[in-house]
Structure 1
Amino acid sequence: MKKLINNPAHIIDEMINGLTKSYAHLVKRIENTTIVISIENAAKVGLISGGGSGHEPAHAGFVGQGMLTAAVCGQVFTSPTPDQILIAIRAANKGHGVFMVVKNYSGDIMNFEMAKDLAEMDGIDVEYCIVADDIAVENSTYTQGRRGVAGTVLVHKILGAAIDQGATLAEVKSLSDAILPHIKTIGVAFSGATVPEVGKPGFALADDEIEYGVGIHGEPGYRREKLQSSADLAKELVNKLNNEFNFQSGDNYALLINGLGSTPLMEQYVFANDVFKLLTNVGINIHFSKIGNYMTAIDMAGVSLTLMKLDNQKWTEYLNYGVKTVAW
């Protein structure tokens, strides 16, 4: 295992310190916690998210004005504990309540719901949504139903923009309910992720082999086959998304192509070019696009493709709204 680390047991602590020291004009660490919080202190709804580490820049990289108020970093691929989430809720609460964005993993849901109950005993109003955007499989390791993956970042962006423009807690909940059914993601992996304390990839693929639909913790996908060209990979993923959306010429969409950790931007742009060609051919209008590493799986090679159907002009405005964060 070749990793730029010291002691694997200290990697989360040292990562958070490195992040917050590097971007001290945007974020800080809450002492004796694994929480990264915005230095902004505006009186508005708090927006928090989090989960296991190893998905950087998610979630701490999206803390700042216009996106998350705070992010709770668990151990690698492990949900943060309820007590850490509760501290984040208390710190994010400015008297207008707190909204939590939770990915659909059983540990995350259990711990965030427990923290919500504890916070409400303190008199803090808390609402949340569960993101389940991965269309690859209906059920997988650690989930009941679909997994929450890169589409979560678009949820952060839209809800954060609405909050920055004055949305109430009830309005944020209503907005999350409206957008979640319109966000779908599917990915393809070329290699497994190596958890530092394990020291070897979570699964193995031959040099000429890929797996469609692998999850961001290395959960099984839906098919393995020989490596295909970028154009063929794009066709597979776009067709899967079309099965969900039933594309209609003239529809408006947002596009997120997300690197899973080890795939160079050069290759992501090649893949993006192939995706744009396919969508253009069926008359899809792309009104927002982002390409890069936004929710990774440590050093996994591969990409995910997220589409969001834009049925409301305000959603597009929220996606394009200016923010001050590390990673957006």
Structure 2
Amino acid sequence: MSVQNKHFLNSPETLVVDSLAGLCALNPQLALDVPNKVVYVNKSDRSKVAIICGGGSGHEPAHAGFVGDGVLSAAVCGSVFASPNAGQVKRAIDLVDSEKGTLIIVKNYTGDVLNFGLAKEQYAAQHADKADRVKFLIVGDDVAVGRAQGKIVGRRGLAGTVLVYKIAGALARRGASLDEVYSVAEWVSGRLGTIGVGLEHCHVPGTAAAESHLGASEIEIGMGIHNEPGHRRLSPVPPLKELIPQLLEMITSTTDTDRSFLPFKGKGDQVVLLVNNLGGVSDLEMCAIVGETSKALEAIGVKVHRVLSGSVMSSLNMPGFSITLLLLPEGQDSAAPSTSLLLSLLDEKAEVPGWRWSAGTTPPASTDIFSTKSQSVETQETRKAKLTASDPAAFDAALKRALQAVIAAEPEITRMDTIAGDGDCGLTLKAGASAVLKEVENGNINGDDIVGAVIGISQVAEVEMGGTSGALYSIFFSGLAQGLQAAAGNTSSAINEQVWNAALVSALAKLYSYTRARPPSRTLVDPLDAFVKQFGQGFPAAVKAAGEGAEATKDVEAKAGRSAYVEGDRLKKERVPDPGAWGVKAILEGLLG
């Protein structure tokens, strides 16, 4: 896949300060020291421990997005993926200097450790009376970097660092001493494991356009947040149900001597789960990742006490995510903070934009989420009469032909909709046709009960298609069922063309009560209207009229539907027919055979 090289900015040089200024507008409790790129709480409580973090920009909302009441006192921001210098850090210490002292928390990257560490030592040298009131904590939670590879530098700091911020910040707000805050934060940092995975690398604003690092069918496990290569690549991209267990194994394994960093014991372990968006993954996918991770942990007997999800430490626009586990203490570990304390600190409200909402409760088991209990409500159908096709076998055969024609037309309809809509029309029609075809083949929809067949098609369209198309088809077929019963009266009989004609007119009227589209509108209404109005001249003539109506949409200005939002000149130039209209054409021509 390609790397997204375009960005919204004034200039690469001003992007960081522009972003920090916007953050201060979003969160009025903040102030910005522009020369040093320090975001800090403007009126911080000097009687509470101050907590400072920072590092290169490009990992938003980390670090500045966590500055505010209940988490951090200040964040020092470098250029994109570059550590700030020691002078910037010393300025931050001065800005939030506290009577109880200051805790500096940094991710384990050489530049951050050296520059923040230098600032701490310089500050201690210049303020001998405060030398013992500044503590320094390094967080390394990346399990992709094994002991052999990491050697003396250790694990990189990733999204788990944010959990340290939150727990330490909440404890500081409660009035704990510097030693207490440091002790708990240090314990938490030693119980974190994080693994990331990406579909592609990210692009740094102001740099040359990047080429793809990964093939179209590849993913990379263990990528760093600065575009560092990962631990290994997989191809093809596995489904989540296969990928997630592999990622969790890297965190929880106790048999891999190179990267067994945490004292997991297996069944009965208790954790906090954080699923972090590295910047370019949709919320739709993120929730699926959260759900699959929760199920996978449950399957290996690990109890999840809290689930957190969102973008907390990104890598600009990287299409990837990371999983972090905080291994909670066992009951017999007297040196550890209690589980109840840690969870209460995580649950405590934080007045910062970077901390995502959380439920503050233990999540339900997957068996409760994916309940097998029937959710349907059975209803008793009442019919005036039973209508049958004049030739039930021929009706069934024609219906199968129509459904197969729609399925076969899916690629062409999809191609049309990528130009004239949002690209899903072909797949939507195929899904509906496939589901109806299954009901026909199972004998649930057939020519022996025309009204039941039409109602069945309406219900399948509603459930399997969804969206606008599903609603339009479902309304039309519901109206058709009503029209058939009204036209037939109380007499059970074989249906004839007069009954069909009256029912079709009635169904179209029903449909028109819910949509403003009228021909010519460049929608499925165009061929459908032509078909109904010509039905009295015979079925073949009506199908021909519908086909002509669909063809004519090539030159019709879009007045309704999604095509109305597409540039009109493009549609006219490429003479693309309306995808929905083409679907109606395929159905009717399939019926005719």
Structure 1 length normalisation: TM-score?
0.95
Change (3 A) 1:203 1:222: farther
In the other structure, the counterpart of 2:343 is 316
In the other structure, the counterpart of 1:130 is 138
| 2:37 and 2:77 in contact (8 A); partners too | yes
In the other structure, the counterpart of 1:293 is 311
How far does residue 283 in structure 1 lie from its aligned partner after superposition? 2.1
**143, 150, 166: which one pairs with 1:157?**
166
CA distance in 2, matches of 1:229, 1:163: 42
Superposed, which structure 2 residues align to 1:1-328 within 5 Å? 1-24=5-28, 26-42=29-45, 43-120=47-124, 121-122=126-127, 123-124=129-130, 125-138=133-146, 144-201=153-210, 204-226=213-235, 227-243=237-253, 244=260, 245-311=263-329, 312-313=338-339, 314-328=341-355
CA distance in 2, matches of 1:71, 1:316: 24
Please give the per-residue CA displacement for 1:276-303, whole angstroms capped at 9, x wherever unaligned: 1111112222111111110000011110
Aligned to 1:9, the other structure's residue is in SS state: coil
In the other structure, the counterpart of 2:586 is none
How far does residue 126 in structure 1 lie from its aligned partner after superposition? 0.8
| 1:248 and 1:284 in contact (8 A); partners too | yes
In the other structure, the counterpart of 2:505 is none
How far does residue 165 in structure 1 lie from its aligned partner after superposition? 0.7
| 2:17 and 2:34 in contact (8 A); partners too | no
Q: Give the letter for the 2:244 counterpart.
A: A
How far does residue 250 in structure 1 lie from its aligned partner after superposition? 2.5
Which runs of no fewer than 5 residues in structure 2 stay unpaired? 254-259, 330-337, 356-593
How far does residue 202 in structure 1 lie from its aligned partner after superposition? 8.1
| 1:40 and 1:64 in contact (8 A); partners too | no
Q: Quick one: higher RCO (CA 8 Å, sep 6+), 1 or 2?
A: 1
Q: How many residues align?
A: 327
How far does residue 176 in structure 1 lie from its aligned partner after superposition? 2.1
How far does residue 30 in structure 1 lie from its aligned partner after superposition? 2.2
Structure 2 length normalisation: TM-score?
0.53
User: Once the two structures are aligned, what percentage of the paired residues are identical?
Assistant: 37
Structure 1: which 4+ aligned runs deviate by more than 4 Å? none
Please give the per-residue CA displacement for 1:142-201, whole angstroms capped at 9, x wherever unaligned: x81110000000000010011011111111221122222211100101111101021334
Please give the per-residue CA displacement for 1:220-256, whole angstroms capped at 9, x wherever unaligned: 2110121111122211111111214434323221010
| 2:161 and 2:189 in contact (8 A); partners too | no
Between Structure 1 and Structure 2, which shows a larger proportion of helix residues? 2
| 2:48 and 2:172 in contact (8 A); partners too | yes
| 1:193 and 1:202 in contact (8 A); partners too | no
How far does residue 40 in structure 1 lie from its aligned partner after superposition? 4.0
Which is further off, 193-202 or 62-71? 193-202
Change (3 A) 1:232 1:200: farther
Between Structure 1 and Structure 2, which shows a larger proportion of strand residues? 1
CA distance in 2, matches of 1:280, 1:40: 44
CA distance in 2, matches of 1:40, 1:287: 34
Aligned to 2:190, the other structure's residue is in SS state: helix
Which runs of no fewer than 5 residues in structure 1 stay unpaired? none
Aligned to 2:200, the other structure's residue is in SS state: coil
CA distance in 2, matches of 1:197, 1:118: 33
CA distance in 2, matches of 1:14, 1:251: 44
Aligned to 1:257, the other structure's residue is in SS state: strand
CA distance in 2, matches of 1:268, 1:50: 26
How far does residue 206 in structure 1 lie from its aligned partner after superposition? 1.4
| 1:40 and 1:65 in contact (8 A); partners too | no
CA distance in 2, matches of 1:72, 1:188: 27
| 1:247 and 1:284 in contact (8 A); partners too | no
How far does residue 31 in structure 1 lie from its aligned partner after superposition? 4.2
CA distance in 2, matches of 1:176, 1:38: 21
Q: Give the letter for the 1:28 counterpart.
A: A
Aligned to 1:15, the other structure's residue is in SS state: helix
